[in-house]
Amino acid sequence: MLFRSSKVDEILNDQFQPTKADGTLPGTLTDQRGNVVRYEIRMNKVLFDYVVANKLYQSEKQSSFPEISAPVGSILVKAAWREVSPEEQGRFYTALADVQNLEGDRYQEKLMGLVGFHVMTKTASAPQWIWSTYEQIDNVEGLHPSFFNPDCPSCLQNQQTQPQVPNQITRETPIPAVDPDCSQKSAAVDNIVALNQVIQKGLGDSVWRHYQLINTQWPVPSRQPSSPSTVFTVLPTVLANTTMESYIQKSSSCMGCHAIARSSNAQQYRSADFSFTFADARPVLKNTQIIPPPRSPKTNWARDNWNSILRGYQIANKTYETLPQYVPQAKLHCASCHLSVGADPKASSWFGMIKKYQYPETDDLQKRINSCFEHSLNGLPLPLERDNPESQALITYMQWLDQEAERFKITLPKTAYPNIQKLNGDSKLGQAIFEQKCAFCHGLNGEGRYGSNTYYRPALWGNQSFNRLAGLAQTETLAKFLKSNMPYQFGGNLTDQEAWDLASFIDRQPRPQGPYQKP
C-alpha cells in the first residue's frame, strides 16, 4: 500500500524536514509520463520490537521516555516507487501495490517499480547510523530516463513543479569514480562506479543488476567520547538521491538532516536517534508555551481592535512583502528572528513590550521597532507619529499577545533567549556544522531559499540579510538564539559549543554594514 506522495508526506511536513527549495510548490516528484512518485518507510523487526515494547507509537509515552536509542542492528528503509508498464518491468524490481490517488479518497492497484531507496543501519561503532543510498540506473540517464527528458535542453533542471507536471532531474553530486588514495585517511573517496560494475556483473540476470549504489555516508569516531551522538564528523559531507533529495542535492546530508530529529516531547528537545519515523507517534503534541496565531477575538477589546491585530500579525509575518517601501533590500520578516511571530518565549518574544517601553506614555516602543527596521531588516524607519498605521498595528498585536499570554498562562521569559555557557567559538568547526545542520534549509552560501520569488527560508548573510548593527550580528546573542531555536523547530539540538562555533562562522560572513541608504 502506497499513500505518500512526497518523501515527508504524512509523517512530517516541510516545516520540519525540508526536502524542497520552493515553498510555493509541493515536494512531489513526477516522472516523464506524468506519474507522481510514491514513497514508503519500513523498519526491520529489531527496531519494530523496540518501538512496540516501549509503546513509542503513543506520543504521550514517547514524550516521557528518557532516551530514544534504537538497538544495534536496527535498519530503516525509505523507498521511492514509480508506475511502470509491463514492457519496462524487466529493468525494475516491481510489486503490485494499492496506490492512493492524489485526492486521498481511493486506492487503485498498480504495477510499481522501485526507483530509489535509502538504507540506514545502526551498528555498535556507528551510533549515528550508516547511510547508503541506491537508485535504478535509468533515473536520470540512458535511452529512456525516468526523470529526465534529453530532448528538452530548455527545461528547468531540478526545480519543483505541480504534481503530474514532469520534473527535469539531473545528478548534481556525481557518483565517485576515482580510485582511493589510502594515504588520505580523511578523504571519503572510493571508486563507487567500479564497485557497481563488479557487483552488477556478479548479479548475472537478476533484476538488481539495473540498480547502483550512489554512495555511503558514515560517522568518523569522535575524539570526545562524552559528546552526544548528535555531535559528529561525517564522510562524505554530502549524500543525495535524485528521487528523494531531488531539489536540494548540493546541500543534502542524510546524517546532518536526521541528526536534528526529535521525540514527540513538544516542550523540550529530546533526540529521536536520527529517525524522523518516531514523529509518526499519535496524537501530535503541541507546545503549550507558544501562542497560536490570531484566529478569532476572545475579548471585547480584541473584538474592537481585531482588524489592527490582524494587520500587525501580517506585517510581522510578511514584513518585506507587506512594507517594501520600508524594507527595500532585505528579504526578511520580523518573524525571521522573533519566531512564531513574537509568540515564542525562547525566541525574543514580544511579551511585556508595552510595559517595558512604557507605552503609550513614551515613544520608546516606536523607536525600538524602528531599530529593528533599520538594523535587523536593514531598512528604513517607520514614521514616529503616534497614529502611523503600521507601527500602531504592530503595537496593537503586541498588546493582544500580552492578553493571550495571560489567558494561556504562559511563563513569561526574563531574557530574550535562555542563557548559555560563555565559550570561544571556532569558525572552522562552525562551517562544518552549518554544512550538516543548516545548509539544507538556508543554502550552502547562506542565501536562503526564495523559489518562485517567495520566502521559504531566510538569508543568513549577504545583501538580503540583516546588517552589522543588528542584534544577531553580535556573536553572543546569535549563539543564544541558535542554541534555543535552531535548527528551526528543533531548538536544543545544538550543544552550547556548537552554538558558539556556528555563530562564529556566521558572524564572519559578509553582510551590509548598515544602515540602509536610499539610492
DSSP letters spanning 301-333: HHHHTHHHHHHHHHHHHSHHHH-TTT-SS----
pLDDT at 473: 97
**What confidence tier does 45 reach under pLDDT thresholds 50, 70, 90?**
very high
pLDDT at 180: 84
Q: Which long-range contacts (CB under 8 A, 24 or more apart) does 447-451 make?
A: 448/331, 449/18, 449/21, 449/22, 449/23, 450/331, 451/20, 451/21, 451/22, 451/23, 451/24, 451/25, 451/159, 451/160
Counting residues of the chain whose pLDDT is more than 70, the rounded percentage is 97
pLDDT at 16: 52
pLDDT at 17: 52
Q: How many CB atoms lie within 10 A of CB 498?
A: 24
**What confidence tier does 10 reach under pLDDT thresholds 50, 70, 90?**
very low
Span 448-469, mean pLDDT?
A: 96
How far, in Å, CA of 486 to CA of 493, rounded? 7
Strands (E), 177-331: 211-220, 233-235
- The residues, ordered by sequence, that sit 6+ positions from 325 with a Cβ below 8 Å of its Cβ are 380
pLDDT at 11: 47
**pLDDT tens digits, one per residue of 387-413:** 899 999 999 999 999 999 999 999 999
The answer on pLDDT for 9 being more than 90 is no
The answer on pLDDT for 268 being more than 80 is yes
The answer on pLDDT for 372 being more than 70 is yes
Span 193-213, mean pLDDT?
A: 97
Stretch (H or E) spanning 497: helix 496-507
Mean pLDDT of the chain: 94
pLDDT at 227: 84
How far, in Å, CA of 412 to CA of 38, rounded? 45
How far, in Å, CA of 316 to CA of 313, rounded? 5
Q: In whole angstroms, how far apart are CA 99 and each of 103, 108, 176, 277?
A: 11, 5, 35, 21
How far, in Å, CA of 442 to CA of 459, rounded? 6
Look up the pTM and report it.
0.94
Closest CA to 274 of 295, 292, 255, 293: 255
Cβ burial of 300 (10 Å; 0-12, 13-18, 19+) is: exposed
**pLDDT tens digits, one per residue of 25-40:** 989 999 999 999 999 9
Counting residues of the chain whose pLDDT is more than 90, the rounded percentage is 88
